[in-house]
A = this chain, B = another copy of it.
Amino acid sequence: MAALPTVDDVARLAQVSRQTVSNVLNSPDIVRPGTRDRVLRAIGELGYRPHASARRLRAGTSSTIGIRLHPMRNGISGSVLDRYLHALTEAADARGMRVSLFVADDVDDEIRHYERLRDGADVDAIVLTATEYDDPRIAWLARERIPFVAFGRPWGAETDDDPTRLWVDVDGQAGVHQATRHLLGRGLTRIGYLGWPAGSGTGDDRRRGWETAMADADTGVDLTRLTFTAEDVVADARASIEALVRDGVGPSTGSGHRPSTGSGHRLEGLVCASDSLALGAMMAVREAGFPHFPVIGFDNTPVASAVGLSSVDQRLGDVADATVELLMGATGSRVRPHGDVGDGPRHRLVTPELVVRRSSHLAE
């Protein structure tokens, strides 16, 4: 990064010590007039910003929120963070703020970027995404007392009311619960869940939405036999569901037929942890000759809308608005100092919304 002029640059140009530059800025009356003038001219020539770092950060005058741009994922759900970025930039703009992007190789590199942004006073606050258990970025930001909001809750500590650990998140469990209820409401009972293999906060949370809806409906089906997994890639999901079809566990609702409730051991519908999974599953069941087998995705990506896939919308506009509110308060025009949230909220859990399309209508 091309460095801003530093106090050392000023000292060098004015041929004085670092301390003298500091004196000119803080106690000008103890510096000899000739020296003072030389330092002032050097400051003007270099465009050095006295005390910019500390002062601007304290005053919140960079009017900028920093956020790491993660590498583009090839999957179709990768666009979720891009859509959040759009919503965040718009929500920030409505409060007179801009969004500054940077890339990083990993979490440690991201923290080094935070340091540089702080040293240059280039941002008033940080928004973190893709948070992890015991996220080292959150620990660093809290220690440095830099205002931040995490998109992603601190799993296991969601109820903490710590005013220095602000977060927003989407209630994935509620979203998948809605999707499952939608299929239960159509008289189906053997509703499967296609999720990700590895345990993750987000994945476990979404799966619980299906589990609780199924348990509440008291269908009596064995949930362990209806739980399937695939990597978050269309082709993997497709292969996984093709295998189910081959094994005779797959769909039982052939073309044009409504399923009979509780028809044996075959699957009657599928709720998925993402649109990537749902798209792969939909391709597999459609090509196997089940045009009306219901499939529901999660994320409501542009692809879902394009191919008529029902999907849970994360309401990223609300998530972005909540992010800015946590940073700036309900109406403020500046980022609040770290921890300074008064008795206002410390986090916001946005309830997503099922968007119903052709893929989950039984008869069309």
**A interface residues with partner B (beta carbon < 8 Å):** 1-5, 24-26, 28-29, 33, 36-37, 40-41, 43-47, 49-52, 55-56, 59-61, 63-64, 69, 71-72, 74-76, 78-79, 82-83, 85-86, 89-90, 93, 96-103, 120, 122, 234, 276, 279-280, 283, 302-303, 305-307, 333-334
Contacts and interface: CB of A to CB of B under 8 A. Distances in A.
B234 A96 contact: no
A96 B122 CA distance: 14
5 contacts: A29-B33, A64-B122, A93-B102, A98-B101, A279-B307
B63 A2 contact: yes
A323 to B, nearest CB: 15
Contacts of A61: 2-5, 47
Given A47-B55, A50-B43, A306-B276, A89 B69 contact: yes
Nearest to A47: B55
Contact of A40 (B2, B25, B99, B122): B25
Summarize A's interface: helix, strand, loop or mixed. helix
Closest 9 CB pairs of A and B: A47-B55, A1-B96, A234-B306, A49-B49, A82-B82, A99-B101, A72-B86, A28-B37, A93-B103
Contacts of A120: 63
Contacts of A78: 302
A255 to B, nearest CB: 13
A118 to B, nearest CB: 14
Contacts of A1: 63, 96-98
A99 B100 contact: yes
Given A5-B61, A59-B47, A302 B74 contact: yes
A61 B1 CA distance: 9
In this complex, which of A41, A61, A64, A302 has the most chain B Cβ atoms within 10 angstroms of its Cβ? Answer: A302
Contacts of A63: 1-2, 4, 120
Nearest to A68: B89
Nearest to A1: B96
Contacts of A45: 55
A25 B37 CA distance: 9
